[in-house]
Structure formats: C-alpha cells, structure tokens
Amino acid sequence: MKRVLAAVLLGFGLTTGAVMANVEDEIRSRIAPVGEVCVEGEDCGEEAASEESASSEPRSGSEVYDAACSACHASGAAGAPVMGESDAWADRIDKGLDTLVDHAINGFKGMPAKGGCSDCSDEEIEVAVEYMVEESE
C-alpha cells in the first residue's frame, strides 16, 4: 500500500512539475520584450535590414495605390479626389506633377505624409502619383 501511495504521489509530483514549467513558459512569453532599443554607434543588425531593403524591388504605382492610396482615393474620404474622376483631378494636375508628388510625400491638408504609407519610399509614392494621374486624365 505504501508503494502504491508513493507511486501516486510521485506521479502527482511529476505532473505538477510539468504543469508549473508550462505555466512559467507561458508567463515568460507574455512578459517578453516586444522590441529592442538601438543606440547610435552600436551594431544592431542594421546591415541585414539594409541588405533586405536594397534587394527588394520598388513596388509599381498600381501596387502602392492598392496597398495605401485606395483607402481614400477610391471613396473620396476626407475630400480626396477619386481616382478616375477627371474633373476632381483637373485643377490638381494643372499645378504640375512636381507639386502633386511633393504634396503626396509631405502631406497636404487632410492627407498625411506619404498617404500614411510609412514603408513606402519617395520613389514609390512618385510612381503611385503618376499612376493615379494617368488613370484620371
């Protein structure tokens, strides 16, 4: 009887230990840091990040439009001219492509800088503006 009791207690002890280890792992994953701070001058893996961004090709105008611009320029939200409506774009196109690109990159009235596309390069924004102008003339 003592052996059975000892075996049962040993089984409970092992099970409890495994459960506690699992709970501790869950706690560690919940309180793990979500990011890192990189101080200027330290090697923080920037080389790998710059190699990745350098190897990726810039997106086309239609890809950038679909990913970011269409949120407002498909519906006219916040007064944005709807792509394809030439009347809405006529005055803007008359100001010149350079002005349109500058407004798109830096923001203008209700439009945030880069249309809120923080991962878009200036080149991608320019190509997207050219795409929208071509589709709206």
Regarding pTM above 0.75, the answer is no
Confirm whether 128 is domain-assigned: yes
Q: How confident is the model at residue 39, as a pLDDT?
A: 84
CA dist., res. 32 & res. 12, Å (int): 30
User: Where residue 67 sits, what CATH number does that domain have?
Assistant: 1.10.760.10
Q: Note whether residue 78 is domain-resident.
A: yes
What is the chain's mean pLDDT, rounded? 83
35 or 11, higher pLDDT:
35
Q: For residue range 70-88, what is the model confidence (pLDDT) as tens digits? A: 999 999 988 899 999 999 9
Q: How many domains would you assign to the chain?
A: 1
Query: Looking at the domain assignment, is residue 76 inside a domain?
Result: yes
Task: For residue 100, name the pLDDT band (cuts at 50, 70, 90).
Answer: very high
Residue 39 lies in a domain: no
Helices 86-94 & 97-106 angle (0-180, nearest 10): 100
Stretch (H or E) spanning 31: none
Question: With 0-12 CB in 10 A as exposed, 13-18 as middle and 19+ as buried, what is 30?
Answer: exposed
Considering only 21-25, 62-66, 71-75, 97-101, which range has the smallest mean pLDDT? Answer: 21-25
Residues 6+ apart with CB under 8 A from 12: none
| Domain presence at residue 20 | no
Structural domain boundaries, residue 107? 60-136
- How many angstroms separate the CA atoms of 87 and 137, rounded? 9
